[in-house]
Amino acid sequence: MSLGPKFVALAAALFVLAACELGGGTGYLELKTVPGSVRSPALYIDADKIDAKSGTTVLRQPVGTARLQSEGSDGKVVLLCQVVVKKNRITTVTISSLERPPRCQCERTGNDSKACIG
Amino acid sequence: MARQHNACAAARWRSWLATSVISASLAATMTLASAETRATTGATADAEFSQQLGELKKSFTDVGRTIDESAKSIDAIQNPEQGRKSIEELRNQVSTLLNAVADNGEISKLGAKALSLADEKLKSLDREARFKPEEKQYLVNRWRELRSATEAAIKDLDSARKDFSELLRSLQTSEDYIDELMQIREHERALQVIHQLSEGIRDASVKLKKLLGTIQPPGV
C-alpha cells in the first residue's frame, strides 16, 4: 500500500492549519448563563447558533472579535455584545437571562481592556 | 466567515490529532489516516464517538507527558522572562486539551449524536414487533448499556472541560500577574509565583491521568 496519498492529505491538513494559525489561532469563549435554572434565549456567535447549555458552555473560537447575539421573543436577532477572543486564552462572559433583552457581564482582561465591548 | 472558521476548526482538529500521532510514530499516523477514512464512510455515531475517544486518550497521554515535564522544569527556572515563556508554552498545551473537549468540538458533537441515536433506537425497539420477546429484550438491554456508557463518557468530557478551563484561566491569570510584577521590577516575587505554579500543574497532571483512566469508549 502506498503512503503517498496519506502524506499528501497530512501535508494538506498541516498547510491549512498553518494558514489558520497565520490568521490568528484559537481561543476560548466561556459563556455562563445566570441564573442556571432559567433557560437561556437562543444565542448566536456571529451567524452560528450556539447550542448553549444552562450553566456553563465552553466554545473554541477563532482569535478576534466575535458578535454575541440573542434571539428576541419577536424572532429578531439582537446584538448583546462583542467579545474579544485571544490566542490560547479563555474569555468569560456571563449572560443574565433575567433581563430583557439579556445582558452581557464582561470580565476584565489584561492592560485595562474589557473582554467585551458594548 | 463562519464557513472559513468551520474549515479552520475542522482542519485544526485533524491536524492536532495528526501532529500528536506523528510525534509518536509513523504507524500511528497510518492508523489515524485510516480512522479518518472510516469516519467519512458513514460509520454510526456511537462507533465514531468510541473511536474518537480512543484517539483522544492516546493524544492526551502525550500532552500529559509534556505537562509533567513542564512542572519539573518550572521548579528550576531562575529568570522571570523564561518563566513567562514556559507558562505561554503550557497555555498552548492546555489549549490543545481544551480544544479537544470544547462544547462545539467534534467529540462533543459526536457524543450528543451517539446519545440521540441510542434514544431513537430504544424508542423504535419499543414499537418493534418482528422479534421474539427475549430477542427484543436482549437488544433493549444492550442499547440501554450503550446509552449509559455514552452518558458516562459525556460526563467525563464535561468534567475534563471544566478542569482544563480552570487550568487555562489559572495560567493566564498567573501570567498577567507576573507581567504586572515585572513592570514594577518585582522579579523575586514573580519567580515565587512561577514556582508556585508547578504545584497547580502537577495537580492538573494528576487530574488528567485520572481522566485517562476513567474515560471508557462506549461499547468497548
Q: Do B168 and A26 touch (CB under 8 A)?
A: no
Per-residue model confidence (pLDDT) at position B15: 44
Rounded Cα distance between A53 and A32, Å, is 9
Inform me whether the C-beta atom of residue B18 falls under 8 Å from chain A C-beta atoms: yes
The residue among B122 and B16 whose pLDDT is bigger is B122
Look up cell 498541516; give the residue: A14
The percent of residues in chain A predicted with pLDDT above 70, rounded, is 68
- Name the residue among A10, A28, A56 with its Cβ closest to that of B29: A10
Per-residue model confidence (pLDDT) at position B150: 92
pLDDT in tens, A60-73: 999 999 999 988 77
- Name the residue among A59, A92, A110 with its Cβ closest to that of B104: A59
Å from A31 to nearest chain B CA? 11
Å from A82 to nearest chain B CA? 16
Which H or E element spans position A61?
strand A56-62
pLDDT in tens, B165-216: 988 998 899 889 998 998 898 888 888 888 888 888 888 888 888 888 777 7
Task: Enumerate the residues of chain B whose CB falls inside 8 A of the CB of residue A92.
Answer: 169
Q: Classify residue B65 as left (phi > 0), alpha (psi -120 to 50) or beta.
A: alpha
- What average pLDDT does this structure show over B25-32? 36
Per-residue model confidence (pLDDT) at position B40: 41
DSSP, collapsed to helix, strand or coil, labels residue B75 as helix
Chain centre distance of CA B26:
22
- Name the residue among B12, B94, B95 with its Cβ closest to that of A20: B12
Grid cell of A98 as nine digits = 433575567
Task: Enumerate the residues of chain A whose CB falls inside 8 A of the CB of residue B94.
Answer: 88
Q: Does residue A58 carry a pLDDT above 90?
A: yes
Å from A101 to nearest chain B CA? 25
Grid cell of B175 as nine digits = 501570567
Q: For residue B200, what are the CA distances in angstroms to A68, A88, B162, B194?
A: 32, 18, 15, 10
Nearest residue in chain A measured CA to CA from B161: A58
Q: Hey, which residues 56-85 in chain B have their CB within 8 Å of chain A?
A: none
pLDDT in tens, B127-136: 989 999 999 9
Strands in A116-117's sheet, in edge-to-edge order, are A48-50, A43-45, A64-71, A77-85, A116-117
- DSSP track, chain A: --SHHHHHHHHHHHHHHHHHHHTT-EEEEEEEEESTTSPPPPEEETTEEE-PPSSEEEEEEESEEEEEEEE-TTS-EEEEEEEEE-TT-EEEEEEETTSSS-EEEE-B-STT-BSEE-
Per-residue model confidence (pLDDT) at position A115: 67
Candidates A2, A48, A58, partner chain B, best to mutate (most B CBs within 10 A): A58
Q: Do B168 and A90 touch (CB under 8 A)?
A: yes
B130: Cα within 13 Å, side-chain hemisphere: 3
